[in-house]
Chain A
Amino acid sequence: MPNAFAFNIPFVSIFLAMLTAIITPLIPVKAGIKNINKATLPERVTCCVIALIGVLSALLLFALNADEPISFRFMMGHFPAPWGNELRAGPLEAFLALAFSISMLLSLTGNFDATAYDISERRRPAFCVLVNLLMASLLALLYTNDLFTAYVFIEINTIASCAIVAVKEGGKAVRAALRYLVLSMAGSGLILISICILYDITGHLLMEPMHNAIINIINTGNYINPLTVALYLMTVGLAVKSALYPFASWLHDAHGSATNASSSILSGLVLKGHIFLIIKIFCRIFGIDIIHLLRMDTQLLIFGLLGMIMGSVHAIGQSEAKEMVAWSSVAQVGYIFLGIGLNSNAGIAAACLHVTIHAMIKPMLFTAVGGLSAAAGHKKGLHELMGTFYANRWAGIGFMAGACSMMGIPTFAGFASKLSLTMAAFESRAIIWALAALAASSVLNA
């Protein structure tokens, strides 16, 4: 058991983000201090809190690795297991929380200029509220052990992420946000129906009792059809939100027309929160044997492969730099679903590695594209960015590094995750298709 301090970290970090979301609108934008780097006071407070959450997550990670039981449950409101609400923290959750807070911090600090250009000073506190709400809901999606709590935070996440698209002025962003909202609402409706069916056939909302009840259902053979329907609805709902290919038509629009900090956060983190929830539901509620029994793994594999190819094909066809980077997200989400679809320990580990690496690289790419387009006088077209490398060298280097990593060139981070995905594919029966698609997608990315 970790010490009392580490034990409280999951709750405290969610609570801190929520609290900051409430107090940021109260902080005056024009304080006596001079605005450094065009960042207003609420933005600096937000950055400090996110850095603090990152430090806390790092402490939690160390505490969990030091002690023997490497995961623990935190009761919310002191009601014991089958009734109360719980948080659960393990090394993976702590590590992802650390990675998410670093990525969030860098996407905010790297884009202060673009944020100041796109969002008026009057609206900046509202922007900070949304960032903090997103942080809180992402942390809650990581740590929660209760399916209905997950649903509530999915909805908070939906509202905050649509609002963070619409916060940029102009009709294009509003239209993209509405389109995003409609598909997200359909997705969360499916998730809600699925949670209701699961609750009705298992009688639980916490993950461990639900897992035992589902094993019981499979053994006795009663209610297998509702269970299958619930699994498919849940997967489709979460796949819409995490932009698996056939459901990804909203992504390029929303991520391409938002301000740079929003695009970075949405593409790097919000998709990953939902993907991690899918991994959690597959591993902790159903278990990978039952997923295989209900044939969910093969379908995710097929859609993952489709996403890898089609995302890259669409990315090549784009004429705007940001939309191209956004379509490349669809391809990367395809890689992650390929890992989940392999349905082995190695595959899911590779998927988690790719989640982390993509959560780092995609914000970097968006930030670099933002830097380049600012150097070109806020133009967006690919051909208009020609020659801007000399105007903003750091953004150019960042873009090159990010692009190399996306292609999976050795010594860049993307290589590590692609290698582990390939190694996981070697253990599976679908190896030929997986390898062919990996190769094709790598070539297309290049």
Chain B
Amino acid sequence: MLNRLLLNHYEAAAVILSCIGLTNLLLQRNMIKKIIGLNIMDTAVYLFLAAKGYISGRTAPIYYLDANGEWVNQVQAYVNPVPAGLVLTGIVVSVSVTAFALALTLRLYEHYGTLNIDEALFLLEHKYELEYSSYNDDDELLYEFGVDNRDMIKAANEAASKSMNDKGGDEDHA
């Protein structure tokens, strides 16, 4: 068992990394950390593919001149090019998904002033939704990443009640 793991140490590392990435993607509360987890997972898959496509002692599948000045065009001289193609496609896909996820996170932050989806749900249930460009000073606790969640919810709760009081006051005034 250990022997096999040592023989395939690249693959073992890839599996461990992808597990770390998946755990981060599913269990982190902060969206940015989730996205970092996604990228770790994707990179681990590329490591796996690259390790699988490599054949020791061979070079990249590009024509080259050997020591005698002749073109090398034998299949036996090159590693498998298909995994490289797959990695390339995978990188493109991963970049676009990351960009899209970051854009959505930005929108979430504009609406709720938080990077935490669960907290956004809490704010939603308490009818507390920030208008565009009004998220500046009164809920600064929310900006701190990685604060204990109970503190954040407590802070959000206070902010929500405060905001509702403010709105109620405005209506009375009007």
Contacts and interface: CB of A to CB of B under 8 A. Distances in A.
Contacts of B34: 182
Given A162-B104, A166-B107, A171-B112, A155 B97 contact: yes
B86 A148 contact: yes
B20 interface: no
Given A148-B86, A171-B108, A196 B49 contact: yes
A181 B26 contact: no
Given A178-B117, A186-B22, A186-B26, A171 B124 contact: yes
B86 A171 contact: no
A175 B100 contact: no
A175 B108 contact: yes
A292 interface: no
B124 A175 contact: yes
Interface of B: 18, 21-22, 25-26, 31, 34, 38, 41-42, 45, 48-49, 52, 82-83, 86, 89-90, 93, 96-97, 100-101, 104-105, 107-108, 111-112, 117, 120-121, 124, 129-130
Q: Is the interface of A mostly helix, strand, loop or mixed?
A: helix
A190 to B, nearest CB: 8
A317 B41 CA distance: 37
B76 to A, nearest CB: 17
Contacts of A190: 22
A43 B49 CA distance: 42
B52 A196 contact: yes
A319 to B, nearest CB: 13
B172 to A, nearest CB: 26
A179 B52 CA distance: 33
A179 B112 CA distance: 15
6 contacts: A148-B89, A162-B100, A170-B111, A174-B104, A189-B22, A196-B45
A185 interface: yes
A159 interface: yes
A234 B97 CA distance: 20
Contact of B25 (A155, A171, A174, A189): A189
Nearest to A171: B111
Contact of A152 (B52, B89, B100, B101): B89
